[in-house]
Amino acid sequence: MPLTDYEIVIGLEVHAELKTESKAFCGCSTKFGGRPNSHVCPVCLGLPGVLPVLNRKALEYAILAGLALNCRIAERSRFDRKQYFYPDLPKAYQISQLDFPICSNGSIDIPADEELGGGTRRVGITRVHLEEEAGKLVHSGSGILDSEYSLADYNRGGIPLIEIVSEPDIRSPLEARRYLEQLKLLLQYTGVSDCKMEEGSLRCDANISLRRKGESKLGVRCEIKNMNSFKAVEAALQQEAERQAELLDSGEPVISQTRAWDEATGTTVFMRTKETSSDYRYFPDPDLAPIVVTADMVEEIRRRLPEMPDEKRRRYVNEFQIPEYDASLICGSKPLADYFDSVVAVYEGSPKTVANWVMGELLRLVNQEKIEVESVRITPRQFAALLRLVDEGVISGSIAKTVFEEMFATGEDPDKIVARKGLKQISDADELASVIDRVLAANSQAVESIKSGNQKAVGFLVGQVMKETHGKANPQIVNKLLKERLGL
């Protein structure tokens, strides 16, 4: 049976590190990098006698995230200890939330897989809860299982995390990727997490099962781990779906198990069965007081939610008359949207103009140089200044592109570049007259062609004037003067 006769059922579990200054339960810095074990204290090291104290901001960020994901914020919530032994877990328990998570019953809308009919897929969010990170293990060998020893660095231990669990509403590996992209976008907008899988501030585990189309009972699911990018998630799920389909086709059962994605071979490999699942012996943490969140507190935090992507997109389309496609693209990246907003804020002209430049020249150079929008050297003030130079006719549109490239490379002010390189547009008729004379003289064939009715050659002549003046001539004025000279 081809894969398309099966319905793929996917649920995703995402862990996102929260961007607080200090850890979830102690005051150690959360700064990335740094000498191993230099951001630790008795509390996050789990020394005898220490106690946790909750970071207020971690709670607020978790609530912000929940609101961005349309969740219900729990009026009463508490912390539970999840107990297991592992060298990266100093207390041999992780402070987490089991029975009373801070957020629940939310959803994200994503574009559904076109091959499944397209439209919108609403993916339910079962819960968002707060917990703490474990430390990091460095293995002496190439992987954990072939290392003679491992080294523990607890700098990361204790950093606050939110765990976001989706309902099994995702129906294809592509949708899984879209879910992650939308989730990342929403979380980036709230500012609570960077969501960078490559840096480890976002992690994803997936659960996937298959069932015959039309069946309501869920198939046996397998857990997939160790995917380091959204692309890997999509590829791993595709692989796994095919593996399960093959098994089911040949009448074999799918065995509940955990598999790891192996980037090198592009396959999933068996890790362990799910029969012997861990007994975490959860119980309420006696060292932490319960959390009570009133409706007023929720509203106060909700007011801190910035304009979210959908809202922003609608505003760009309706207020700025920016095309839907462009608006989506700009809103699809918080740094880009922020950048765009800051330019519009200091530019009196049309936001549509800004949008054109952002979509055009800016993105072109950003992609070419493979840098992040946050690293762009051109300040919003400089950007606006450049646009003003074009508006005022000081430079032409095409010259402006050259100036922009220079600004991008050096961060220099546009007017300084224009002055230094003598790029001012030539609009003076007398100045242009002599150039036009030369061009007409050198292009008698074109002149003849125009005189016999070929209007197109005017453009050619304009081009020649532009070439002569190294692009500095004002093309509208050149066009007008040429036509006058030619008696058109």
Partner 1 sequence: MELTPDDVKRVAELARIELTEDETRAFVKDLNDILRYVNRLQQVDTEGVEPAYHVVPLENVMREDCVTPSLPVDEALDGTTGRSGDYFKVPRILDVD
Partner 2 sequence: MDVIDRPLYELARLLESGEVSAEELAVEFLSRIDKVDGIVGAFVTVDREGTLSGARMADKARRAGEAPSHLAGIPIAVKDNMCTRGIETTCSSKMLRGFVPPYDAHVVERVKAAGMLVIGKTNLDEFAMGSSTENSALRVTRNPWNLQRVPGGSSGGSAAAVAASEAPAALGSDTGGSVRVPASYCGIVGMKPTYGLVSRYGVVAYASSLDQVGPLAANVRDCAIMLRVIAGHDPRDSMSIDAEIPDYEAQLGRDIAGKVIGLPKEYFAEGIEPGVRDAVLEAAKQLSKLGVEVEEVSLPTVEYALAAYYIIASSEASSNLARFDGVRYGHRAEGAVDSVSMFMKTRAEGFGPEVKRRIMMGTYSLSAGYYDAYYKKASQVRSTLKSDFDRVFERCDALLTPTAPTTAFPIGERIDDPMSMYMSDVCTVTANLAGIPGISLPCGWQDGLPIGMQLLGKRFSEATLLQLAYAYEQAAGYPSRKAPVTKDRGCCSCH
Residue 90 · residue 159 · CB < 8 Å: no
* Phi then psi dihedrals of residue 406, to 5 deg: -65, -45
Q: Is 293 in the site for partner 2 (CB under 8 A)?
A: no
Quick one: which segment of 63-71, 150-158, 187-195, 396-404 binds partner 1 (CB under 8 A)?
150-158
Q: Which does 91 bind (CB under 5 to 8 A by kind): partner 2, partner 1, none?
A: partner 2
DSSP 82-125: EE---TT-TTSEEEE-SSS-SEEEEEEEEEPPGGGT-SEEEEEE
CA 12, CA 169: separation in Å to the nearest integer? 9
- Residue with token string 């699942």: 277
Q: Which does 49 bind (CB under 5 to 8 A by kind): partner 1, partner 2, none?
A: partner 2
CA atoms within 13 A on the CB side of 429: 6
Q: Is 224 in the site for partner 1 (CB under 8 A)?
A: no
For residue 201, CA distances in Å to 64, 168, 192, 281, 374 come to 17, 23, 11, 27, 18
Q: Which does 229 bind (CB under 5 to 8 A by kind): partner 2, partner 1, none?
A: none
**Which CB atom, from 51 or from 442, has the smaller least distance to partner 1?**
51
Q: Which does 58 bind (CB under 5 to 8 A by kind): partner 1, partner 2, none?
A: partner 1
Residue 472 · residue 426 · CB < 8 Å: yes
Q: Which does 138 bind (CB under 5 to 8 A by kind): partner 2, partner 1, none?
A: partner 1
Q: Which does 398 bind (CB under 5 to 8 A by kind): partner 1, partner 2, none?
A: none
Q: How far is the CB of 183 from partner 1 (least distance, A)?
A: 23
Q: How far is the CB of 400 from partner 2 (least distance, A)?
A: 58
**Single residue of 153, 169, 205, 361 touching partner 1 by CB under 8 A:** 153
Q: Is 284 in the site for partner 1 (CB under 8 A)?
A: yes
Q: Is 271 in the site for partner 2 (CB under 8 A)?
A: no
**Single residue of 4, 31, 34, 51 touching partner 2 by CB under 8 A:** 51
**Cα 172 to the chain's mean position, in Å?**
21
**Which CB atom, from 160 or from 475, has the smaller least distance to partner 1?**
160
Quick one: which segment of 91-99, 214-222, 308-316, 460-468 binds partner 2 (CB under 8 A)?
91-99
CA 401, CA 233: separation in Å to the nearest integer? 39
Residue 205 · residue 11 · CB < 8 Å: no
With residue 203 as reference, give the H or E element that holds it. strand 202-212
Q: Is 85 in the site for partner 2 (CB under 8 A)?
A: yes
Residue 75 · residue 104 · CB < 8 Å: no
Quick one: which segment of 168-176, 190-198, 271-279, 353-361 binds partner 1 (CB under 8 A)?
271-279
Q: Is 57 in the site for partner 1 (CB under 8 A)?
A: yes
AA identity, residue 391: D
Chain residues that interact with partner 2, rule: CB under 8 A: 42, 45-54, 81, 83, 85, 87, 90-93, 150, 152, 279, 281-283, 286-289
